[in-house]
Amino acid sequence: MVEQIKTDYRQADLSEVDRALCDHAIKLTKTPSEVSQADIDQLRSLGLTDEAIGDATQVISFFNYINRIAEGLGVDLEEGM
């Protein structure tokens, strides 16, 4: 499953909610200014609460932030990464 997700999460055997969260992560990462109320409403329609959507968005954003700091400062990956 991990390899499927790494290769193409859209082909992995994910639940509809997990696939939607991956879509949200991609959009928030690549084109954050294009995230709209419709995107949030879509997540809500799948049963996610505002708290869960907020948590997911914060985790996604934190990883983006920390990766940009690491890349911007030339931080080497830990052994095995």
- At 81, the pLDDT band (50, 70, 90 cuts) reads low
For the chain, the domains span: 2-73
Global pTM reads 0.84
Fold of 2-73: AhpD-like (1.20.1290)
From CA 15, how far away is CA 30, in angstroms rounded?
23
Looking at residue 47, its pLDDT comes to 98
Residues 6+ apart with CB under 8 A from 50: 44
Residue 1 pLDDT greater than 90, yes or no? no
- Hey, how many other C-beta atoms are within 10 angstroms of the C-beta on 43? 20
Q: What's the token pair of residue 62?
A: 């934190």
Instruction: Determine the distance from the C-alpha atom of residue 12 to the mean position of all C-alpha atoms in its chain, rounded to a whole number.
Output: 15
For residue 72, with 0-12 CB atoms within 10 Å meaning exposed, 13-18 middle and 19 or more buried, which class applies?
A: exposed
Q: Greatest CA span in the chain, whole angstroms?
A: 41
